[in-house]
Amino acid sequence: MNMRLTHLDDAGNARMVDVTGKQPTVREAVATGEVRCSEHVMSALREGTVPKGDVLAVARIAGIAAAKKTPELLPLAHTIGVHGAVVDLELAEDRVVITATVRTADRTGVEMEAMTAVSVAALAVVDMVKGVDRSAEITGVKVVAKSGGRSGDWRRPE
Amino acid sequence: MNMRLTHLDDAGNARMVDVTGKQPTVREAVATGEVRCSEHVMSALREGTVPKGDVLAVARIAGIAAAKKTPELLPLAHTIGVHGAVVDLELAEDRVVITATVRTADRTGVEMEAMTAVSVAALAVVDMVKGVDRSAEITGVKVVAKSGGRSGDWRRPE
Amino acid sequence: MNMRLTHLDDAGNARMVDVTGKQPTVREAVATGEVRCSEHVMSALREGTVPKGDVLAVARIAGIAAAKKTPELLPLAHTIGVHGAVVDLELAEDRVVITATVRTADRTGVEMEAMTAVSVAALAVVDMVKGVDRSAEITGVKVVAKSGGRSGDWRRPE
Amino acid sequence: MNMRLTHLDDAGNARMVDVTGKQPTVREAVATGEVRCSEHVMSALREGTVPKGDVLAVARIAGIAAAKKTPELLPLAHTIGVHGAVVDLELAEDRVVITATVRTADRTGVEMEAMTAVSVAALAVVDMVKGVDRSAEITGVKVVAKSGGRSGDWRRPE
Amino acid sequence: MNMRLTHLDDAGNARMVDVTGKQPTVREAVATGEVRCSEHVMSALREGTVPKGDVLAVARIAGIAAAKKTPELLPLAHTIGVHGAVVDLELAEDRVVITATVRTADRTGVEMEAMTAVSVAALAVVDMVKGVDRSAEITGVKVVAKSGGRSGDWRRPE
Amino acid sequence: MNMRLTHLDDAGNARMVDVTGKQPTVREAVATGEVRCSEHVMSALREGTVPKGDVLAVARIAGIAAAKKTPELLPLAHTIGVHGAVVDLELAEDRVVITATVRTADRTGVEMEAMTAVSVAALAVVDMVKGVDRSAEITGVKVVAKSGGRSGDWRRPE
């Protein structure tokens, strides 16, 4: 297994990897994550005893906007065209489940864009429920699938 | 328990809560989180068989910078003075443990700033190890303590 | 009437006016504006024959986020704490009517923040309906009331 | 007429439309708009009894910079290369007339970039004259022509 | 002489220094710098054989806007209110001389804001003349005076 | 010699030059610059009597991040893909020497991106040492080589 970190040079100095030699091709990445809330809050959200209104829309929009902000947030990430982004939120028993799908026709993969979208959508959920539930916790943020690019398709083993 | 979400009005529409009546006082929040990596990668990081160089510095700096970007990332968060920020990273057995402490002398708490710092530092770690370990996963991002402000001091129960 | 533009010095050079001598006090500004759409689109939006879903939430959130971006957009505007922001959208006969209320406890008025919130919420509406109505037009963006600060309260004459 | 809003999915949830299948081609959009000021201010601006200095330069530059900020301001807009931008301001009887032309060689049209340039240039004008004329109002912001892309050339009917 | 760098902790890790204990007071910093150009370009700029038009306005505005962006550019800089900014440009024999004065009524000094304003105004000049003079060089960017804050007034020795 | 400034139109108005007709090709630019510090500080940095820790990493990362921010800082610069960036810092006798290399596969040269990276890395160094050395000064920021694009390869004469 190659243990070389591509973001560092031989001396261990951070750098932005040169991708000028890579071809623009269609690439997609899917990431998921969860916000665990008290069942109290979740049941209120599901049953509408809380005016949930724009809650999910705010998180969706924050996630999509964040995908575009990835190169500002991650110092070594490339400026990349985000050419498609979907953020889904589902209200489960004791958690909000978030899935982000990001697509590009550019030179690098969009795994970090998808994980950033999930993370920021999750932070937006926490921001909105924190007044009633301080215990909210973000867990399980990970890439679950990617396609396109030199390394081809990949799906996280169950 | 008050189930009213402060970020929504009676009709469920998103709004930025009016805090003009709150006093600027010193407030602090501490958040933690983890990036789970393969033991393979972690032992390499710890033992230096991987040139780890700037890895932790990149994550630290990304986290501090992200604390300042919170109002850009969370649509309903207030523009707030970030007056102190520390991001610590520790290499444990099978994970990188991240702790962020944010301080302000402004009108609102900085819980979201601390959680944003942890989340983005974690994303930066994932970005750097993803070339050698696609399984990296962000977990347990949560506020563990806060002090100052009207609601006073709080510490997450063990 | 004083015709001197405060944003220019004696030689006509742009500058950011020094407000270090002003006191932080509570200030509010209200601005309005409209997006004129074809009646076709408006009736569809009102009657739900179009899946309107997040349309108004997207515009609301874009407007609130834009209020915070005012100093980035207007070169001579001061960095200011946005301490409260509400953006309302109403579906009238042939237009979407937008009202933004911005509040601060800082050193300058927030008229430009309110007008920026209205303008960007309007742009977001246009962005969403442009696929079905290219004629959409933004009109009547103006401050209608302000309070607080040295110049005191003001209401636009009918 | 197709009433389907492309920015929403079947459930009405906001999304960024996938344009990875579109080809990068040269596209142009022209938008116009106006800032209505008191004749008093306008005649002073025209006749130079007000030191107008950088006023138009500030608005021009704010408009050009804003075209590049469109994907930050409009949550569902794509990250796109802005490859040319001109913002013209003309001093008419009782208004400043603004025209923005934006060009790209990328995957989507630049109508929103042109309208954003006009809107922000207009806000910059209002910001500069508001000290002497609170009545300033932005009107008639609209796309007047576009060319390139799948839907081809279009000119707004008189 | 105290050789301790305040931006690092005992282990050498970067941090944002805690300034919550400092008082908001009026502070000012002045910085200068130069862009050396070929005499050819300078004489053309001075004598108007080049249409210099908005050149100085663009640099002035870029500098003022950059002062506000300092906390985004410098990872460890505090979010701070920029409450006044002036950028002057003077056409000398073989160089453009830039002076920036920044003022705040906040918790930290604005030396870095003034140096950032000078640097970015200088970069804007280089950007505009680079098509006719590749030799352009930025030199002598430094703080020349500061006032206010705990360390009081200071003026750079001649 | 052509004295026409490409960023201005015939009337001297600032504009973003239309590059839609240029081809995306691989381009590279190298810029250098220096931060002059007191020998005191430099010898402490070199000999480790100062805990230098993350100092160089902070500057490196600030420089790389700044290359991506060029179109936000320079009003007339194009939005461009930054596809590779390296920032090196070397501790010389009485100065820190900075070299930035930026690469792209896009429509315009990256000279300004390289100079921006050097300038901001230098500002970050100044920010970190200013507490112990107010005399720090940024000098000699210039492009030293470029390759690719229509104007081909160029190297600054010694």
Residue-by-residue pLDDT tens, chain C, 158 positions = 456 788 888 888 999 999 999 999 999 999 999 999 998 888 877 765 555 568 899 999 999 999 999 999 999 999 989 999 999 999 998 999 999 999 999 999 999 999 999 999 999 999 999 988 899 999 999 999 999 988 889 999 98
Residue given tokens 């007071």 in the structure block: E25
Residue B1 pLDDT greater than 70, yes or no: no
Residue partners of F95: CB distance under 8 A and separation at least 6: F34, F35, F36, F37, F42
* pLDDT 10s digits, E127-142: 999 988 999 999 999 9
Taking the C-alpha atoms of residue E16 and residue E9, their distance in angstroms, rounded to an integer, is 10
Q: Give all chains having 3 or more CB-to-CB distances under 8 Å with chain A.
A: B, C, D, F
**pLDDT value of residue E4:** 73
- Give the class (CATH, top level) of A27-149: alpha beta
Using CA coordinates, name the residue in chain C closest to B82. Answer: C81
* pLDDT 10s digits, F116-155: 999 999 999 999 999 889 999 999 999 999 999 888 899 9
CB B121 within 8 A of CB B89: yes
**pLDDT value of residue E53:** 66
Three-state secondary-structure class, residue B66: helix
CB A124 within 8 A of CB B74: yes
Give the Å distances, CA to CA, from B45 to B7, C76, D130, E10: 42, 47, 58, 22
Question: To probe the interface with D, which of A83, A89, A107 has the most D CB atoms within 10 Å?
Answer: A83
Taking the C-alpha atoms of residue B23 and residue A3, their distance in angstroms, rounded to an integer, is 51
* pLDDT 10s digits, D34-92: 999 998 888 877 766 555 568 899 999 999 999 999 999 999 999 989 999 999 999 99
Taking the C-alpha atoms of residue D64 and residue D59, their distance in angstroms, rounded to an integer, is 9
Residue given tokens 């993969």 in the structure block: A109
Residue B53 pLDDT greater than 70, yes or no: no
Three-state secondary-structure class, residue B96: strand
Q: Which residues of D touch A80 (CB under 8 A)?
A: 79
Residue partners of E23: CB distance under 8 A and separation at least 6: E107
Taking the C-alpha atoms of residue B122 and residue F10, their distance in angstroms, rounded to an integer, is 51
* pLDDT 10s digits, F69-114: 999 999 999 998 999 999 999 999 899 999 999 999 999 999 999 9
**Which tokens hold the place of F32?**
């250098």
Residue B104 pLDDT greater than 90, yes or no: yes
CB A62 within 8 A of CB B77: no
Q: How does DSSP assign D50-100, residue by residue?
A: S--TTHHHHHHHHHHHHHHHHHHHSTTPPP----EEEEEEEE-SSEEEEEE
Three-state secondary-structure class, residue C30: strand
**Spans of chain A below 70 pLDDT:** 1-3, 47-53
- Chain F nearest-CA distance from E52, in A, is 6
Compute CA B114 distance to the chain's CA centroid, rounded to the nearest angstrom: 4
Residue A148: count other Cβ atoms within 10 Å of its Cβ.
18
Taking the C-alpha atoms of residue A30 and residue A147, their distance in angstroms, rounded to an integer, is 9
CB-side exposure of A154: number of CA atoms within 13 Å?
19
**Which tokens hold the place of C124?**
């977001």
ipTM over 0.90: yes
| Radius of gyration (C-alpha) of chain E in whole angstroms | 18
Give the Å distances, CA to CA, from E79 to B71, D92, E19, E71: 12, 41, 11, 6
> Does the beta-carbon distance from F80 to A78 stay under 8 Å?
no
Q: Compute the C-alpha angle C134/C136/C141, nearest 5°.
A: 150
C83 vs B13, B14, B107: nearest CB: B107
> Does the beta-carbon distance from E74 to F62 stay under 8 Å?
yes
Return the H-helix or E-strand segment holding F97. strand F95-104
**What does chain F come to in residues?**
158
Q: Compute the C-alpha angle C135/C121/D85, nearest 5°.
A: 65
Q: What is the mean pLDDT of chain D?
A: 91
Q: Spot the catalytic one: F94, F127, F133, F153.
A: F127
Using CA coordinates, name the residue in chain E closest to B54. Answer: E13
- Chain D nearest-CA distance from E52, in A, is 12
| Radius of gyration (C-alpha) of chain D in whole angstroms | 18
Residue partners of F33: CB distance under 8 A and separation at least 6: E138, F97, F98, F115, F118, F119, F122, F138, F139, F140, F141, F142
Taking the C-alpha atoms of residue F54 and residue F61, their distance in angstroms, rounded to an integer, is 10
Asked about B133 being catalytic, the answer comes back as no
Q: What is the mean pLDDT of residues E94-114?
A: 96
Residue partners of B81: CB distance under 8 A and separation at least 6: B104, B105, B106, C81, E78, E79, E80, E81, E106, E107
**Which tokens hold the place of C58?**
């997207």
Residue given tokens 């005499």 in the structure block: E39
Which residue numbers of F belong to the known binding site? 76-78, 112-113
> Does the beta-carbon distance from A61 to D14 stay under 8 Å?
yes
CB F69 within 8 A of CB E72: yes
> Does the beta-carbon distance from A61 to C58 stay under 8 Å?
yes
> Does the beta-carbon distance from A54 to C58 stay under 8 Å?
no
Residue F1 pLDDT greater than 70, yes or no: no
**pLDDT value of residue B62:** 98
**Phi/psi at E123 (nearest 5 deg)?**
-60, -35
**pLDDT value of residue E36:** 97
Residue E154 pLDDT greater than 50, yes or no: yes
Taking the C-alpha atoms of residue E144 and residue E154, their distance in angstroms, rounded to an integer, is 8
Residue E40: count other Cβ atoms within 10 Å of its Cβ.
15
Taking the C-alpha atoms of residue C31 and residue C38, their distance in angstroms, rounded to an integer, is 24
**pLDDT value of residue E1:** 42
CATH of range B27-155; options 3.40.190.10, 3.30.70.640, 3.40.50.300, 3.30.43.10: 3.30.70.640
Q: How does DSSP assign chain E, residue by residue?
A: -----TTB-TTS-B-B---TTSPP--EEEEEEEEEE--HHHHHHHHHTSS--TTHHHHHHHHHHHHHHHHHHHSTTPPP----EEEEEEEE-SSEEEEEEEEEESSSS--HHHHHHHHHHHHHHHHHHHTTT-TT-EEEEEEEEEEE-STT--EE---
CB B27 within 8 A of CB B109: yes
Residue A127: count other Cβ atoms within 10 Å of its Cβ.
24
Residue partners of B87: CB distance under 8 A and separation at least 6: B59, B60, B63, B64, B98, B99, B100, B117, B118, B121, E15
Give the Å distances, CA to CA, from B89 to A33, B33, C97, C109: 22, 10, 49, 42
Taking the C-alpha atoms of residue B151 and residue C127, their distance in angstroms, rounded to an integer, is 41
**Which tokens hold the place of F27?**
């381009």
CATH of range F35-149; options 3.40.1280.10, 3.30.70.1150, 3.30.70.640, 3.40.50.300: 3.30.70.640
Residue partners of B128: CB distance under 8 A and separation at least 6: A5, A7, A8, A76, B55, B58, B59
| Radius of gyration (C-alpha) of chain F in whole angstroms | 18
